[in-house]
C-alpha cells in the first residue's frame, strides 16, 4: 500500500477514532506480536472491529491487511460487525448443547428480533454444571452477567428484562 | 506468620463468619445478590460478623451456597440460597436452629442438629482433595491466607535444592501432564533443563477450551497462588527467567484472579529479582487469549503469544525450540498446581493415590444428565461408575444413563456397559476416548449419539485453523455426511466413509486437534452403530432429538384448548379456537419445544 492510500484511509475515519487507535498502539508498542492485545483494546472501546480501523492497524504495524483479518476472524472474541446494546452469548458447550442450548438460542433470537440486542453462539464459559448458560454483556458498560439453568421460558423473560432497560 | 488451622479460617475473629463463594459459577446463580443480602443483614442487626469471600468448592449443584460459622455452633453449609432466604437462615442459625442446612463442615461437639456431616456425603467422602484442598475455603484474592495454609512453602523448599534435585522430586512423584496427553512432567522439565540457551520460557497453559471442562477455571479462580507457585518452581527447575500464564477470553474472572495473584506474589518477593534471597530471577505475565480452541495445542499457544495462532510440525518440540525459538516448557494449570502441592506436603502424600502407571489425583468435571453436577477430585484409576453414580448421584429421576463423553471434542463416548472402566490415560485411550482435561458429560436416553457426534464435528470444523488439509477438508466432509444423516438423508455407505475418513484424518493431521477430532465420531460409530442405522435406514431419531426427524403434535383427547402453548410459541405455529383442540403447523414449527414444556395437560408429544 502506498503512502497516499494510507492517508486517504486515515481521513476516512473520524479523528477521535484515529487518535484512539494510535494511543492503543503506542501503549502496546508497534509490534506484530502485540496484534491480539491491540485488537482486544480497540474492540473494548469500539465494541467491534470496523474494517477501516483494521486497515489503519495494518498500515501502522506494517502487517498485511489479510493477516490482520485472518486473526480477527479466527478468534471468537473479535467481532467484525456492529452489535446492539446487549450481546447475549448462548453457550454451546457440550453440557449446554445437550440440555437445550439450541432452543434457548432460538427463543432469544425470536424474542429480541425487534430490539437492539445481538444474540450469538459462544464457546464454553466453564459453567457447565449450570447448563444451559447465557452470558449477557452490556456493550455500554462492559458489565457481564451470567444466567444459568435456563429453559425457553426463562430465555424469553431474560430477553424482556434487558429489552426494557434499553433507551428508546 | 503462624499457620492456620481449618478451624481458624472458618471461624475467623468475629462472633459470626459467613463464607460466600464468588466465582463464575456461583455468580451465575446469584451469589453477588446473596452477598449483598448478607451485608444488609449484618448492618441491620448490628451482629458482630464478617463476610469471607471464598472460591468454589466444586459442588456446583449447591450453587449458590453459603457457609455460616458462629460461636459455639458448628459451621453449616446451606445450598441454593436465594437473597430472600438470607434473613431466615441467619436468624435461625443464630437461635441454634440449623434446620434447612445441607451439611455440617465438621462437628464441634456431640450435638448433631439433625444435619449430616459433609464428610459422610458420597459427593465429598470419596474425594481426595489434594490439589483442590483450598478451593472454597480460602479467599482467592488474599496471598496471606494462601501463605498461612502452607502456600509458597513448596517454593522455599525447591529453592534450597539444585534444579536437578527439583526435577528428581517430580520424577519420583510420577506426575503426568493433567492437560490431556499424560506426558511425564519430569521428562518435559529435564529436556528443557538440558537445553543450552541464553533465555528460556515457561508457560502455564490455561487455555481450557474443551467444552465440559472447567477444573482449571475453578482451580485458578479459587486458589490462584497455587498455580503461580507451581510455575515459579517449574521456572527454577528448567532455568527460565520469564513465564506466561495463557488464559482464554471466555474466562475473565480466572484471568483477573491470576493477574492479581502475580502482583501480590511480586510484592512479597516470590517474583522479580533475587527471589527469596537467591540468585534466581523470574517474572510472570498473564496473557489473555482471544479464544481459539487450537491454542490449547502447545505449538499453537506459543504461536498465539507471538501474534499468530497456528500450530506447527513437531519435532522440534517446544522444550527444544519454542517461544521466539527458545526452549519453552508448557504445562497445564492443574499440573502446576500439583507441583506446588507436592513440594508443600511431600511426594509421599501424592504417590499414595492412583495406579501403577499414573500416580496421584485428578479433578474431573461431571456435567450433563446427572443429579449432582460439579468438579470432583478423585484418585486416578477411579471407575467411571463410581464417579457418575456415587459422586455425581447418577441420572436424573426417571432417566437412564446411556453413555459418557470423556475428553471433549478430542475424546470419545464410552457406553454404559463399559462403566466399570478405570479413568486413567491408557485405559481410556484403548477404548476410543482420551482422558483429556477430564471433562465428563453424561448423556442419558434423551440424548442422540449421532447428534452429539455431529455437534462435535461442528465444533472442530469451526476451530480448525485451516493450515493442514486433512483437518480442514476432512472434517468438512465428515460434518457434511453427519449433517445429511441427522436430516434423514443418509446413505448406508456413509458409515464406511466416515470410518475410513476418520482414521485417515487422525493419521495425517499436523497437530493434536486434527489428530483427535474424529474421535467422537469413531467412538459413537463403534458403540452406537444401531443409532446411526436407525437414522439412515428408517429415517428415525430414536431419542427424538434431531429436529428434521421430529414433529410436535397435539393429542386431541388431552388438549383443553387453553391456548397456553399458542402464546408460548415463538413462531406462531399453533392455532385453534378457545376451548377447542389446537393444531401445530409443522411447516412453521421451529422445534423449540416451548409448547411441550408449557402445556399444563401433557397434551403435546414428540413423534
**pLDDT over threshold 60, residue A6:** no
Averaged pLDDT, A102-128: 87
Interface test with A, best of B307, B399, B545 (most A CBs within 10 A): B307
User: Going by C-beta distance under 8 Å and a sequence separation of 6 or more, which residues neighbour residue A13?
Assistant: A50, A52, A53, A56
The beta-strand segments (E) located in B416-520 are 439-444
Contact flag B443-A36 (C-beta cutoff 8 Å): no
How far from chain centre, in Å, is Cα B429? 20
* Amino acid B395: pLDDT: 95
Nearest to B381 by CA among B439, B440, B428, B423: B423
Distance between CA B440 and CA B367 in Å, rounded?
6
Point out the least confidently predicted range of A146-150, B272-276, B319-323, B490-494: A146-150
Nearest Cα residue to B206 out of B272, B238, B253, B150? B253
Helix or strand run (H / E) with residue B104 = strand B103-104
Which CATH number does the domain B151-348 belong to among 3.40.630.20, 3.60.21.10, 3.40.50.11540, 3.40.50.620? 3.40.50.11540
DSSP-H helix ranges across B517-575 = 519-527, 529-537, 564-568
Averaged pLDDT score across all residues of chain B:
93
Band of pLDDT at residue B520, cut at 50, 70 and 90? very high
The alpha-carbon gap from A52 to the nearest alpha carbon of chain B, in Å, equals: 21
Q: How many CA atoms lie within 13 A of B294 on its CB side?
A: 31
CATH architecture of B551-606: 2-Layer Sandwich (3.30)
Please tell me the predicted confidence (pLDDT) of residue B1: 42
Chain B residue with the nearest C-alpha to that of A43: B290
Question: What's the average model confidence in pLDDT over B398-409?
Answer: 92
Residue B471 has what pLDDT?
95
Contacts of A93 (CB under 8 A, 6+ apart): A101, A123, A124, A125, A128, A131, A133, B211, B212
User: Angle at the Cα of B46 (from B45 to B50), degrees rounded to 5?
Assistant: 105
Pick from B540, B527, B434, B536: nearest CA to B493: B536
Q: Which residues 427-486 in chain B show a CB within 8 A of chain A?
A: 439, 441, 443, 447, 452, 455-456, 459, 465
Cα A37 from Cα A54, distance rounded (Å): 13
Instruction: Give the largest CA-CA distance in chain A.
Output: 56
Q: Are A126 and B250 a contacting pair at CB < 8 A?
A: yes
The answer to whether domain B361-444 has CATH 3.80.30.10 is: no
**Per-residue pLDDT tens over the stretch B301-315:** 998 888 777 888 888
Q: Is A103–B594 a contact, with Cβ atoms under 8 angstroms apart? A: yes
Instruction: Mention every residue, 6+ apart, whose C-beta is less than 8 A from residue B7.
Output: none
Rounded to whole angstroms, the Cα distance separating B596 from B97 reads 42
Query: Looking at residue A11, what is its pLDDT?
Result: 52
pLDDT of res. A9: 52
> Lowest-pLDDT range, B63-67, B373-377, B400-404, B546-550?
B546-550
**Could you tell me which CATH class the domain B449-537 is placed in?**
mainly alpha
Q: What is the CATH number of domain A86-164?
A: 3.40.30.10
What is the C-alpha separation between B238 and B331, in angstroms, rounded? Answer: 12
How much of chain A exceeds pLDDT 70, in percent?
92
Residue B150, pLDDT > 60, answer: yes
Interface of B with A in 292-311 (CB under 8 A): 292-293, 304-309
Strand order in the sheet with A144-147: A117-122, A86-91, A134-138, A144-147
Residue B246's nearest CA partner among B275, B211, B294, B203 is B203
Is the predicted pLDDT of residue B2 greater than 70, yes or no? no
Residue A30, pLDDT score: 87
B106-124 pLDDT, tens per residue?
999 888 899 999 999 999 9
Whether the pLDDT of residue A7 is over 50: the answer is no
Residue B438 CA to residue B460 CA, distance in Å, equals 18
Check if the beta carbon of residue A146 is closer than 8 Å to that of residue B28: yes
Residues B498-502 have a mean pLDDT of 97
- Taking one residue from A and the other from B, the number of pairs with CB-CB distance under 8 angstroms is 166
DSSP 3-state of B164: helix
Element housing A119 (H / E): strand A117-122
Task: Give the model's pLDDT for residue B85.
Answer: 95
Read off the pLDDT of residues A42-96 as tens digits, 9 standing for 90 and up: 998 888 999 999 999 999 999 999 999 988 988 888 999 998 999 999 999 888 9
Q: What is the mean pLDDT of residues B393-416?
A: 93
User: For the structural domain made of B6-119, what CATH number should be given?
Assistant: 3.40.30.10
- Judge: B570–A149 Cβ closer than 8 Å, yes or no: no
pLDDT band at A109 (very low <50, low <70, confident <90, very high): confident
The reply to whether residue A127 touches residue B28, judged by beta carbons under 8 angstroms, is yes
Q: Find where cell 482435561 sits.
A: B437
The rounded distance, in Å, linking the Cα atoms of B387 and B398 is 20
Q: Output the pLDDT for position B4.
A: 66
Reply yes or no on whether the pLDDT at A10 is more than 60.
Answer: no
What average pLDDT does the segment B395-401 reach? 93
Please tell me which residue of chain A has the smallest CA distance to B56: A127
Residue A160 has pLDDT above 80, yes or no: yes
Among the partner-chain residues B29, B306, B455, the one whose CB lies closest to the CB of A97 is B455
* Residue B519: pLDDT band with limits 50, 70, 90: very high
Span B9-45, pLDDT tens digits: 899 888 999 999 999 889 888 899 999 999 999 999 9
Angle at the Cα of A66 (from A62 to A67), degrees rounded to 5?
65
Question: Does the pLDDT of residue A168 top 70, yes or no?
Answer: no
Q: Kindly report the nearest CA distance between residue B60 and chain A, in angstroms.
A: 6
User: Sorting pLDDT into bands at 50, 70 and 90, what band is A12?
Assistant: low
B445-454: pLDDT as tens digits: 999 999 999 9
- Decide if pLDDT at B273 tops 80: yes
Q: Which among A7, A69, A81, A1 is positioned nearest to A35, based on CA atoms? A: A69
**What length is written for chain B?**
607
What is chain A's alpha carbon radius of gyration, rounded to the nearest angstrom?
18
From the list A40, A92, A131, the residue facing B290 with the nearest CB is A40
Higher per-residue pLDDT: B407 or B264: B264
Q: What does the alpha-carbon distance between residue A148 and residue B286 come to, in Å, rounded to a whole number?
A: 28
The shortest C-alpha distance from A11 to chain B (Å) reads 28
Statement: residue B373 has pLDDT above 90: yes
| Mean pLDDT, rounded, for B455-462 | 92
Residue B53 has pLDDT above 90, yes or no: yes
- Residue ranges covered by each domain of chain B: 6-119, 151-348, 361-444, 449-537, 551-606
Sign, Cα dihedral of B218, B220, B224, B228: positive
- Interface test mutation site (partner A, options B24, B395, B453, max chain A beta carbons within 10 A): B24
Amino acid at each position: 500500500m502506498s503512502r497516499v492510500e494510507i492517508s486517504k484511509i486515515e481521513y476516512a475515519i473520524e479523528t477521535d477514532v484515529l487518535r484512539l487507535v494510535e494511543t492503543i498502539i503506542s501503549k502496546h508498542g508497534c509490534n506484530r506480536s502485540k496484534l491480539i492485545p491491540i485488537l482486544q483494546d480497540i474492540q473494548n472501546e469500539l465494541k467491534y472491529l470496523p474494517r477501516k480501523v483494521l486497515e489503519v492497524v495494518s498500515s501502522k504495524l506494517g502487517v498485511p491487511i489479510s493477516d490482520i483479518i485472518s486473526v480477527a476472524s479466527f478468534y471468537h472474541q473479535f467481532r467484525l460487525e456492529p452489535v446492539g446494546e446487549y450481546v447475549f452469548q448462548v453457550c454451546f458447550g457440550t453440557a449446554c448443547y445437550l440440555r437445550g442450548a439450541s432452543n434457548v438460542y432460538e427463543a432469544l433470537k425470536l424474542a429480541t428480533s425487534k430490539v437492539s440486542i445481538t444474540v450469538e453462539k459462544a464457546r464454553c464459559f466453564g459453567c457447565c454444571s449450570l447448563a444451559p448458560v447465557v452470558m449477557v454483556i452490556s456493550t455500554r458498560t462492559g458489565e457481564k452477567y451470567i444466567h444459568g439453568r435456563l429453559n425457553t421460558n426463562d430465555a424469553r423473560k431474560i430477553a424482556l428484562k434487558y429489552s426494557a432497560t434499553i433507551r428508546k | 506468620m503462624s499457620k492456620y488451622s481449618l478451624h481458624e479460617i472458618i471461624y475467623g475473629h468475629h462472633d459470626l463468619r459467613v463464607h460466600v463463594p464468588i466465582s463464575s459459577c456461583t455468580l451465575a446463580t446469584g451469589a453477588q445478590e446473596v452477598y449483598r443480602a448478607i451485608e444488609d443483614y449484618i448492618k441491620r442487626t448490628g451482629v458482630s460478623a464478617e463476610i469471607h469471600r471464598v472460591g468454589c468448592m466444586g459442588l456446583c449443584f449447591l450453587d449458590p451456597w453459603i457457609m455460616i460459622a458462629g460461636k459455639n455452633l458448628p459451621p453449616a453449609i446451606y445450598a441454593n440460597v436465594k437473597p430472600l432466604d438470607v434473613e431466615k437462615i441467619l436468624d435461625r442459625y443464630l437461635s441454634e436452629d440449623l434446620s434447612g442446612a445441607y451439611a455440617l463442615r465438621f462437628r464441634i461437639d456431640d450435638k448433631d442438629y439433625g444435619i449430616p456431616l459433609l464428610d459422610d456425603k458420597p459427593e465429598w467422602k470419596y474425594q481426595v482433595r489434594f490439589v483442590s484442598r483450598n478451593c472454597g475455603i480460602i479467599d482467592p484474592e488474599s496471598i496471606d491466607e494462601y501463605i498461612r495454609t502452607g502456600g509458597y512453602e513448596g517454593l522455599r523448599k525447591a529453592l534450597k535444592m539444585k534444579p536437578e534435585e527439583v526435577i528428581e522430586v517430580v520424577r519420583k512423584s510420577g506426575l503426568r501432564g493433567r492437560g490431556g496427553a499424560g506426558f511425564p512432567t519430569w521428562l518435559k522439565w529435564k529436556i528443557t533443563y538440558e537445553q543450552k540457551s541464553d533465555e528460556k520460557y515457561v508457560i502455564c497453559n490455561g487455555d481450557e477450551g474443551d467444552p465440559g471442562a472447567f477444573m482449571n477455571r475453578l482451580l485458578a479462580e479459587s486458589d490462584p497462588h497455587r498455580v503461580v507457585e507451581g510455575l515459579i518452581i517449574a521456572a527454577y527447575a528448567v532455568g527460565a527467567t520469564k513465564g506466561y500464564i495463557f488464559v482464554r477470553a471466555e474466562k475473565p474472572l480466572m484471568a483477573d484472579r491470576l493477574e492479581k495473584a502475580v502482583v501480590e506474589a511480586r510484592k512479597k518477593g516470590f517474583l522479580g529479582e533475587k527471589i527469596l534471597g537467591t540468585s534466581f530471577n523470574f517474572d510472570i505475565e498473564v496473557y489473555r487469549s482471544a479464544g481459539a480452541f487450537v491454542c490449547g495445542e502447545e505449538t499453537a499457544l506459543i504461536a498465539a503469544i507471538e501474534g499468530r495462532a497456528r500450530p506447527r510440525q513437531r519435532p522440534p518440540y517446544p522444550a527444544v525450540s519454542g517461544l521466539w525459538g527458545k526452549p519453552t516448557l508448557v504445562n497445564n494449570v492443574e499440573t502446576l498446581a500439583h507441583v506446588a502441592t507436592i513440594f508443600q506436603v511431600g511426594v509421599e502424600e501424592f504417590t499414595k493415590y492412583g495406579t501403577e502407571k499414573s500416580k496421584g489425583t485428578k479433578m474431573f468435571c461431571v456435567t450433563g444428565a446427572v443429579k449432582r453436577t460439579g468438579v470432583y477430585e478423585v484418585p486416578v484409576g477411579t471407575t467411571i461408575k463410581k464417579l457418575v453414580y456415587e459422586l455425581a448421584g447418577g441420572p436424573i429421576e426417571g432417566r437412564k444413563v446411556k453413555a459418557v463423553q470423556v475428553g471433549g471434542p478430542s475424546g470419545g463416548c464410552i457406553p454404559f456397559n463399559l462403566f466399570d472402566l478405570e479413568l486413567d490415560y491408557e485405559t481410556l485411550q484403548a477404548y476410543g476416548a482420551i482422558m483429556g482435561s477430564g471433562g465428563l458429560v453424561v448423556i442419558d436416553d434423551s440424548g442422540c449419539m449421532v447428534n452429539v457426534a455431529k455437534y462435535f464435528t461442528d465444533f472442530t470444523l469451526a476451530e480448525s485453523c485451516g493450515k493442514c488439509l486433512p483437518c480442514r477438508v476432512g472434517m468438512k466432509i465428515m460434518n457434511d455426511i453427519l449433517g445429511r444423516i441427522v436430516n434423514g438423508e443418509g446413505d448406508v455407505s456413509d458409515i464406511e466413509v466416515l470410518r475410513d475418513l476418520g482414521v485417515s484424518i487422525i493419521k495425517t493431521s499436523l497437530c493434536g486437534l486434527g489428530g483427535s477430532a474424529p474421535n467422537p465420531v469413531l467412538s459413537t460409530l463403534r458403540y452406537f452403530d444401531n443409532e446411526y442405522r436407525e437414522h439412515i435406514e428408517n429415517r428415525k431419531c430414536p431419542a427424538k432429538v434431531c429436529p428434521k426427524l421430529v414433529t410436535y403434535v397435539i393429542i386431541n383427547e388431552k388438549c383443553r384448548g387453553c391456548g397456553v402453548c399458542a402464546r408460548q410459541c415463538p413462531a406462531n405455529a399453533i392455532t385453534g379456537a378457545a376451548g377447542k383442540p389446537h393444531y401445530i403447523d409443522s411447516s412453521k414449527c421451529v422445534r423449540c419445544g416451548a409448547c411441550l414444556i408449557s402445556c399444563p395437560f401433557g397434551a403435546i408429544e414428540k413423534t
